[in-house]
């Protein structure tokens, strides 16, 4: 432009890109006991009993809720832990992740 730079690049942006974050979601179903979901949220997401109960009820009423936001690797681990724990107890509870 007409700013005396004669078309020469005068600025270089050095980009420090944050890694993408992933939401971990818990899905409702008709069979998993409410207390089991509360236990899962306490055990794997470090939530207090009150917070866990609140999120469980949100999922029960609305179908889905975000239970936390993590790096890809941590989100992947949480999902695997929840899915394995639910399967081991023969509950159909579903846990997934999606890019924020
Ligand atoms: N809907 C289940 C019931 O009535 C409870 C439930 C809540 C299941 C949250 C899954 O992610 C869930 N027993």
Categorize the per-residue pLDDT at 1 as very low, low, confident or very high, splitting at 50, 70 and 90. Answer: very low
Decide whether any atom of ligand 1 lies within 6 Å of the 40 Cβ: no
Nearest to 96 by CA among 85, 80, 32, 84: 80
Decide whether any atom of ligand 1 lies within 6 Å of the 59 Cβ: yes
Interface ipTM > 0.95: yes
Kindly give, in sequence order, each residue whose CB lies less than 8 Å from that of residue 97, ignoring residues fewer than 6 positions away: 22, 23, 24, 25, 75, 76, 78, 79
Read off the pLDDT of residues 32-81 as tens digits, 9 standing for 90 and up: 999 999 999 999 999 999 999 999 999 999 999 999 999 999 999 999 99
Cα 92 to chain center, whole Å? 19
CA of 59 to the centre of ligand 1 (A): 7
pTM of the model: 0.86
């Amino acid at each position: 432009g007409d700013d005396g730079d004669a078309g020469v690049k005068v600025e270089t942006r050095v980009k420090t890109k944050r890694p993408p974050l992933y939401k971990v979601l818990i899905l409702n179903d008709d069979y998993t006991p409410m207390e089991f979901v509360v236990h899962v949220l306490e055990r794997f997401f470090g939530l207090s009993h009150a917070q866990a109960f609140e999120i469980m009820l949100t999922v029960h009423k609305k179908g889905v809720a975000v239970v936390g936001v993590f790096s890809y690797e941590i989100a992947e681990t949480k999902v695997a832990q929840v899915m394995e724990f639910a399967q081991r107890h023969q509950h159909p509870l579903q846990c997934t992740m999606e890019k924020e």
